[in-house]
Amino acid sequence: MNSVHDMGGMHGLGPIAPETDEPVFHLAWETRVLALTLAVGAWGKWNIDASRHQRELIAGRDYLAMSYYEKWLTGLIELIVKTGLASRSEIATGRPVKGASRLVPPLNAARVASVLAAGGSFTRDVAAPARFVAGDEVRARTINPAGHTRLPRYVRGRRGVVERDHGVHVFPDSNAHGAGECPQRLYGVRFAARELWGETSAKRDTVHLDLWDAYLEPV
Amino acid sequence: MTHAEHDHHHHGDEGQEPPSDLALRVKALESLLVEKGLVDAAALDAIIETYEHKVGPRDGAKVVALAWTDAAYRQRLLADATAAIAELGFGGRQGEHMIAVENTPSVHNLVVCTLCSCYPWPVLGLPPVWYKSAPYRSRAVIDPRGVLAEFGLAVGEDVEIRVWDSTAEVRYLVLPERPEGIEHLDAEALAALVTRDSMIGVAKVPLPSAPV
């Protein structure tokens, strides 16, 4: 979706202002939001693409105003309600409805280290012939899906060169919407900065994106 | 603007106090989820402990220092970063598919995620606020030289800047250049010099401030 989260190439969003000796977390509640997001995620009621898309659905003016973990909290609450893990009224009161049975969390403390260290591969062992090989010229398609996509606006319609075949990866555009993983080839594609931004960019500078087969067309 | 609006627009990214209702909302959510048996309170503590104290840029620094001192490891890292990083015991969530990109006198690499906040957790830990914020996300791709200048790094016109926008589940680690004049240091001493920012590509590895 063409919302403000897709901000590559925008001007006017302020100075970067890195903080010296920045702590991992600034506030105690941020630590809980990170942990809750990972722990509730262990129920497998949604995937990482749905989780990203939920944050993209935050209205533009709020998205730009909220702190990072406030966006995570907002996304988490919406996913919990959507998937029926808890109701909005339970979240408002902080109390389960009367008579609700107590579940057993899938992620307990003993498993945390191994679960985080294992991660979860996003490649899939299915046949998906490579349409492109390194060196092929491609064009990022001009698409404007209203749902989730990982094809930023700033490369749509632009020509690049395939640099690398990453193998077959889960496709976020379908996976985010519960429409299946639709695994397909993922390519590392190099774009000349001037192709994206014009003559003011340095001649040799490049921008590299990882793009799924469905995002690309041959030139 | 009203006081409330002022608070809303300025907390968080600058590390100031959030509206207190945010902390209360999180507390209420946690207590609900624990009571429903949706999360285990001890598991939450273990997750926080992991990312606050165990996983972080010291791990990435060990990878870089080993690549600087062991030519065969450097080759393995550039050929298959996921496997090479796993040799040191690092891997997992948000680092399942790693690629290392090498800075040289003629190439400077810079990593960003314009769409959200993708970052190689197993080697760098959780990203700093600026990495996740709109100013960096928006400008790294269109004006990398201006962004680097904001970090105090001037990159010559003869150097090619490669910006890596992390649009998929592939995560990028910059292998920075080893500073001149510290060839006598072993991997452990070198690792102590490698900064998080140099592995994102917004800085070079600084020379030690005192002779070593």
Domain boundaries, chain A: 28-118, 137-218
Measuring CA to CA, how many Å separate A73 from each of A78, A80, B22, B54, B167? 9, 11, 9, 24, 22
Return the pLDDT at B9: 41
From A97, which residue of chain B is nearest by alpha-carbon distance? B36
Query: Is B3 an 8 Å CB contact of chain A?
Result: no
Confidence of residue A160 (pLDDT cuts 50, 70, 90): very high
CATH: 3.60.20.10, 1.20.1250.20, 3.90.330.10, 2.40.40.20. Which one for B56-212?
Answer: 3.90.330.10
Of A76, A119, A207, the CB nearest to B165: A207
From A67, which residue of chain B is nearest by alpha-carbon distance? B12
Query: CB pairs below 8 Å between A and B: how many?
Result: 284
For residue A58, how many other CB atoms are within 10 A of its CB? Answer: 20
Quote the mean pLDDT of chain B.
Answer: 91
Distance CA(A42)–CA(A50), nearest Å, equals 14
Phi-psi region of A186 (alpha: psi -120 to 50; beta: other; left: phi over 0): beta
Distance CA(A186)–CA(A173), nearest Å, equals 13
DSSP state of B23: H
Return the pLDDT at B209: 75
Mutation site, B32, B155, B159, interface A, largest A CB count within 10 A: B32
Chain A residues in contact with B27 (beta carbon < 8 A): 29, 32, 94
Distance CA(A59)–CA(A3), nearest Å, equals 8
From B98, which residue of chain A is nearest by alpha-carbon distance? A166
Tell me if A136 sits within 8 A of A153, measured CB to CB: no
Return the pLDDT at B20: 73
Return the domain boundaries, chain B: 18-54, 56-212
> Residue B15 above 60 pLDDT?
no
A28-118 fold: Cyclin A; domain 1 (1.10.472)
Tell me what percent of the residues of chain B surpass a pLDDT of 90. Answer: 86
Confidence of residue B208 (pLDDT cuts 50, 70, 90): confident
Quote the mean pLDDT of chain A.
Answer: 97
Has B31 been annotated as catalytic? no
Return the pLDDT at B210: 64
The Cα of A57 is separated from the nearest Cα of chain B by a number of Å equal to: 12
Return the pLDDT at B13: 46
Query: Is A176 an 8 Å CB contact of chain B?
Result: no
CATH: 3.30.750.24, 2.30.30.50, 3.30.360.10, 3.40.50.80. Which one for A137-218?
Answer: 2.30.30.50
Of B51, B97, B130, the CB nearest to A34: B51
pLDDT tens column, A22-53: 999 999 999 999 999 999 999 999 999 999 99
> Residue A97 above 80 pLDDT?
yes
Return the pLDDT at A91: 97
Query: Is B160 an 8 Å CB contact of chain A?
Result: yes
Which of B20, B31, B106, B113 is catalytic? The answer is B113
The Cα of A94 is separated from the nearest Cα of chain B by a number of Å equal to: 5
The Cα of A120 is separated from the nearest Cα of chain B by a number of Å equal to: 7
Return the pLDDT at B17: 59
Confidence of residue B4 (pLDDT cuts 50, 70, 90): very low
pLDDT tens column, B59-77: 999 999 999 999 999 999 9
Chain A residues in contact with B139 (beta carbon < 8 A): 10-11, 13, 16
Average pLDDT over residues A102-106: 96
Has B117 been annotated as catalytic? yes
DSSP state of A96: P
Return the pLDDT at B8: 41
> Residue B25 above 90 pLDDT?
yes
Return the pLDDT at B19: 54
Has B116 been annotated as catalytic? yes
For residue B138, how many other CB atoms are within 10 A of its CB? Answer: 25
Return the pLDDT at B178: 96
pLDDT tens column, B149-177: 999 999 999 999 999 999 999 999 999 99
List the structure tokens of A54: 């939920």
Query: Is B114 an 8 Å CB contact of chain A?
Result: yes
Return the pLDDT at A84: 96
pLDDT tens column, A59-70: 999 999 999 999
Question: Would the CA dihedral through A94, B93, A183, B170 be positive or negative?
Answer: positive
pLDDT tens column, B92-127: 999 999 999 999 999 999 999 999 999 999 999 999
Return the pLDDT at B16: 56
Which one has a higher pLDDT value, A100 or B104?
A: B104
Return the pLDDT at B6: 37
Distance CA(A126)–CA(B134), nearest Å, equals 37
Q: Which of residues 51-70 of B touch A (CB under 8 A)?
A: 51-52, 55-56
